[in-house]
Structure 1
């Protein structure tokens, strides 16, 4: 059983906007206070769709990291690093590719979906087909136990679990494993050993998940077990011979409720965004230009907030009292559209002020950002190297 660890990554797309903040970064800031977290820049993943324009990736990497820091991601609490600076990702990807069935990759829902959405690009490449496997390697190399994802990404986590399970089945063949596991069980004492073995039988014969959890908890509480013995016993409980790679769990996150300036999803491709470094002047200008209820042609015409993109911003930023004021004022023509927009402008300016300030600090001193990433890469690589040592050994690649 591996220690709890959260991993998440983002492809470098340059300056981030409020959709990224409310959809991902706000959650990262919360998670870093609750778990050991690793957050990485997925620059190799960017090449799966932008292999013809690699020159845009470097600038995007640093812009994105600055926005992470500006949003409150804390390098003293979380490990921030760049995927390509930890070459073990590529090694694990290669080794996993030897035993991953081709059909598993072809059935990933986003494979055909992305090919259709990006039809202007030639995505009939080995790299694009294999990107879900690289994504699995990104997770498994750190033995991450939880991965925050939206519902559309859950199939990727399920694929990663299948890959880890298959790898453990193929390569968790420690000589004399059962004898060693039973020897380790004796350290529990005869009474506890009997109970753990009974719980194991209930799980393996009847599929009793509660019995498995009870046995795991007992092993977790036992102080006199070595790390190797505990891992053997966890593997023995589950029917594996040895746990080399852990099966991660999907940590479902809420979809971002941050709408774009036109009422659609906030996205650079729709040109409807507010960046995390937007100036107060630009915020005011952009929100003032937002479309409103098309039926409200004159100031004296009553409107319907449900048909107005500005109302969606009130849903994010306004309390119940403010929202009641908008509903009553709009429907009665008691307030004008510009008047309705002012509280939203004020709220966005307040939210972005500390982010813009932190971003300026890092932008003015690029060395500070590069040092943070260098330290993060070093910490990440130490974990990755430990995993690869076990992977190589299990696959018979630890030649002396």
Structure 2
């Protein structure tokens, strides 16, 4: 049987199942099952059982539920209020003033959360009401929060980078280190945009608040101590080689529990809610990965990825054009799928093509996460937009208009990352390959 029509037919089947609302994991496993039945005489049930077990038992995935639990615990503390109070006095002098709290606060919380939606919800539930009360423009304050919350996917400990590492058998630590500079670059680009907007729209800015004495600002920094301690404990232990990502995740859960207890927000009820929420999220992600593992195995047996890669290669696309095509493909997919599903769904199909084109897989992982970040703020299935809709009550397409400038900034960031790959590769190369 000619593999190319089969390949295209299977892809059409996959999107049809997703369009009908079938669970992503079930759709992936069904596609793999059909591929084996059509092309091979091997026992599909046995391959299904063994490949799903292999895909779900990866040691790297142990960090996943721990980081998710850490974020769920912190979501139920007063960390966001403390961050707002600690950052506001220092950012009030910049053009754009307290709008920068959304951006800097999201970047800091991203370093202890790993989730874009959790970052958006945690920072937004305090900052949006505070900014509205003080007279800041909804258009920019909401857009800044939506855009900067996506940094939670890039700054370690990123849940989606753990998923990408498990799907491609790459080093989680190397991916974590590679995500730091691109994440900080996004923060700088967002802050630059807010500064320029504020300078050209002074009439839409509220009057400046009374200046706080320097010693009072220094005292306010104490509010940031818990989150700084958490960042040092989790990220610092990985970068200094003291702990693996899995061990650092356990440290993070311990420290988040300590913060919740110290701030008086830890009760049996909040602990139960955090455990239930993190269990649901972890099971959903691992179920998707197990289905993807079976699909990857099925694709390997049938040779479909090789045929698709040869077919796309027959168009003679340059490396840049191929990257552009993949970027457009991921942005379109992001209008209908969440980020983790996008990464898992496409790994088995596009990785042979990516390797054949000569892309560094660490760099490509960071690039794809950046493109997936764009999908978090594109309707109709932008997860950050749903979070913001619950916080503000505004229509999701209006929220999409608010976030449009930040989407374009991410496009600029993707262009810079493609033009200068060392933005992602310099830090892991320096830290992990330098003589000790």
**TM-score, structure 1 length as denominator?**
0.25
* Higher-strand-fraction structure: 1
User: TM-score, structure 2 length as denominator?
Assistant: 0.23
- More relative contact order, 1 or 2 (CA 8 Å, 6+ apart): 2
